[in-house]
Every structure is written in structure tokens, then in C-alpha cells.
Amino acid sequence: MGNVRLCGNYLVNGATSNFLLFLVLTTLRSIAMGPILATAPALASDLSPKDEAGKYMAYNNLSTGLSGALASVIFGVLLVNMTRTAFMYLFMISAILFLVGGMLFSAKVSQEELDAQFEAVADEAGALA
């Protein structure tokens, strides 16, 4: 459900011509993405085999960092050379791709599997304490 809200935020963000509204929506999106980016490496570690947890966390960090670096360069060049309409379409396409990624994750990893992994990690942490 969070992916749908973030996708809606992207769509409205791309369609607005009011700069103040754009900043407010961007702030809300950043607040929503903060916990996701903070917990994603832990989720990658918990869902991976224990002896390969570091490798999976590295893949997660590499994908996050590399995509951010490439996006900054590519979108910087695009934004200098594009019209407002093209910018709006770019935001809408990114919203759709974000939603598709969330749907693929939801299809591949069930909530029951996530709950079972969470309980196993919580039990393991409780046994260590």
C-alpha cells in the first residue's frame, strides 16, 4: 500500500506547476522513503542465506548508491535540455516504474515469508540477549 501512495505522490509531483506544492510533496516523499532506505539492507540480510548475508547487503547498497549516482547525472543532463511537458512525463514514467517494482517484490516475497523471517530474527535476537 505504501508503494501506491508513493506512486501517487510521484504522479502529482510531476503534474504540478506550483513550486511550493512540488517542495511539499517532495518532502513527504522523502519522509516516506527514509525508513525504507534505512531498513532495506537489514531486510536483504534477513532474507538471504546467513553465510551470504554480506553479499546480499552489498548488492542492495550497490543498487541504491549506483542508481542514485547514475540518476543524478542522467537526469541532470535531461533536465537542462527538456521542456516542462517532458519533465512531467519523466516523473509519471518513474512513478509507474516504481509501482511495478513494488508489485514485483510483493509477488516474489509473500507477507507470510516476511513475517516468518521477522519472527526467526526476533527469536534469534532474544536468544542472544
Q: Which domain holds residue 104?
A: 2-128
Give me the number of domains the chain comprises: 1
Global pTM? Answer: 0.46
Span 26-71, pLDDT tens digits: 788 778 778 877 787 777 777 778 788 888 888 878 887 887 788 7
CA–CA separation, 96 and 51 (whole Å): 35
State how far Cα 10 lies from the chain centre: 12
